Chain A
């Protein structure tokens, strides 16, 4: 009963509740009317039966000529059921009633049971009728009592239903809000792809240092990934897509984030962001985007913990079958009394406007991947956040694949992933390049083809052509759903991510 706790009730739910109350009142009005009617009718029926029985018992005395005495005796013995009794001989305009004038009561207030008395046992020769008078509405009290019992039983049900209605309505409201957020997010994700593509294309025309180009391409790639992720999440409103947990080489993912963070914080004097990864291509089963978001947040936290110049050192290592990601700063540190609370929802430290969600999400994400999060800090010395994840086995050596994609950033991602995985990757930007090399490729090599190849070329057309040439393992590396390619049953559909990530 949120509304009763002081919250403003939504006008819609208010209207619904009023309607419910009106229906409840109408329903009970109807029940009351039916109960009263039934009580009155059944009383009439039973009074009629009782009258018949009394008539049969008094019949002989009446017919023998002692009708007045019979009426007097009868009236006194049945006064609990009838307030008056009368005998009206057949053909007579008036009869004898006890008490006198018993029939004068208005018909709206009084009812009468009339029972014919016959001379013969076949009931064909009328001798007269006995009339029994009773209050028409006395029985209504039983109807009201019956209704009240039903009312008393139904009130708790009504209260419960009212609460349920408010709760359901609020849930529905939340769902609608979430749906509108989802729609908005999907729309933004969809619309942002075009400017990003334009930005990527423009960046290609710029004469930039290799490092800067890589940085820009990485940032655009991440933004595309976020957009893809949002689209994947909200493509079907109301059906939340679960996290995409796959085994990735972590060094590539983290390196991409570090490059972005360096660029982000390059204007902060004396702030250095270092990254060191142990050799061996450490891998773990994670949601790549979530991991990158997690590392990004933690690096930001560390940078903000530096009150002046300092170093944020990110290290990727392994220990006892676990992969460790350490984000360490030499900033102001965290007081011990707060240290234990960090990582819980809503707990933050030293960050203006912080919600405490960064660490909380980092911990829950790490835990959801089977790992954990540990914070070590000393005031004035710095803080180290260590994420431990179960280490995944390295993929078998000798992996090979072919990628046809016109996007250089995708090429770079796949190249780095292939390097980390030790895979043999051949990259082609145009179908013509791939066609030229096709003769040298084994027919069972996995082919990954982008769906949009620029210049109006459709990936599925190239896939069809290659399938015709005998290639058996062809996948569309695309953000589109598999339903789009359902007409090509031999064609597999994967995401943009490299298969070894």
Chain B
């Protein structure tokens, strides 16, 4: 027999026509659904992501091909999804070729699916078809073991006040529909092969070949052709059903996610967007759906409920009412209800706000407590395999809460202090450099003398007693090494990083203005700081306001000094330590290796915590949380981190490189009852020892 496949084998004309009718109807329904999705995004504001389209496309393509974001820290899922994804793609392309061949090329006298081409085609599809099913089974198996990522328990509502069954139904339908499409596909193959009485070339469809024998063994060969038609229709109905279902379920991620990855910004969340003059007239934060950018609106739909952000979030882990996943899904439900495109299995009952005529996005749809729980650590953005930027949505909604004055009293007080005195401690700005008095030399005033390095000290390093001693150590060591550096004394104000992330954009702009004016007055080549928060905003955000500076972390400077011989290490240290990557240094700005290099030069033995580098676990102080009440948390993130360190076994010291980390972890060691078991030290403490 000629190597080919008969399309619509055994189908009477009427049935073929019926199929085409239903098929076209389904495709139109699908297109309409997809159109409505795109319409939703078009209502959003511009996102400025159309730059470098070529590079963006190639990068997204690479990510998709390698599944790098999925395999990250979870090889099992990476492999399973790769199988499902490429299986789906190959089978889809295969089906398209069949349709093309039968519906178009045939009339031009071309017939692709025959001969050698058809043989390889069959094999290829069979192999990927098996991979497809294996991948799906891997996922089903994982799901059955109830991994924490797939726990849909909401942290912001008590049990009984919400129903997650629709989510689970959607998940199950998605998985099993695809599985049975694949399975019936193979069945059809087997039935055809046994019905055609095993044409020799069909051995190139090995699965079908084996199934055919199995069917034979079950004694079904006589009825094969009858069963074939039914199975074919069953398969077709499921496929068409899937197509119709796609834009109305989590399956829409198939359409949305490549685009979402393509339009992702590397600087997202690291550099928060300004509020335009236009927008300022209505309010600083997001009030309506049309305030969101189209990328943010797309973010809501891109979510596949994979749960990685849910598991990575330190707020959720500590019992706060925030799950980044739930926030995105809630926004999705809201935007769907507004657009009239609620997914098939989604509930309209959600969080109690659906009863209101005009629910406030910040406050009703997403509760204020949820928004305030965020530490802005960016673990969610880093973990998300499909490029969702949860943080910009959170900050933009916080801007609305700030506008309304909807925040804790303690936070209010701190913002007032920063506004009045330029620091979060509420102390006089004239006291900012008081910590330098105990040094036996005077630090240069960069406003009056030219220096190589401007040291941007920061609030905690200036006003907190514990951190002041660390600042003095840094000063002494740099002075001994002959480094030319200076500070701004009382002209320095809070850099504004956390103020911006709290959502007080007006105060942030005021701080930027004042700080840039002070920096203008000073003469220096580069800036260094011991504070990663300061580093982040000076480096990533000040340029948009006209402030272009070279900014380093002090660990980077210290390595340079050691390598150039300006600092002579007198001894190697004998400790076993673990290093905690500060969120704003490691995850935000990619500076993970220099501090480790420094530790290596000091001779200590480094044991890594399970969550390290860009997967570091936040101390819980960021986003203004250090100024908010944490008494309602089940367990502070900082305490959980200390326990993570202690679980390593023989560790003497917990090394930090950020003032807030030092404060948080010193307290956490005490409050978790682990005093004496672990010493919290700053990098400079070790260096001081090694230099003496």
* A and B: bona fide binding partners: no
Residues of B within 8 A of A (CB): none
Question: What residues of chain A have their CB less than 8 Å away from a CB belonging to chain B?
Answer: none
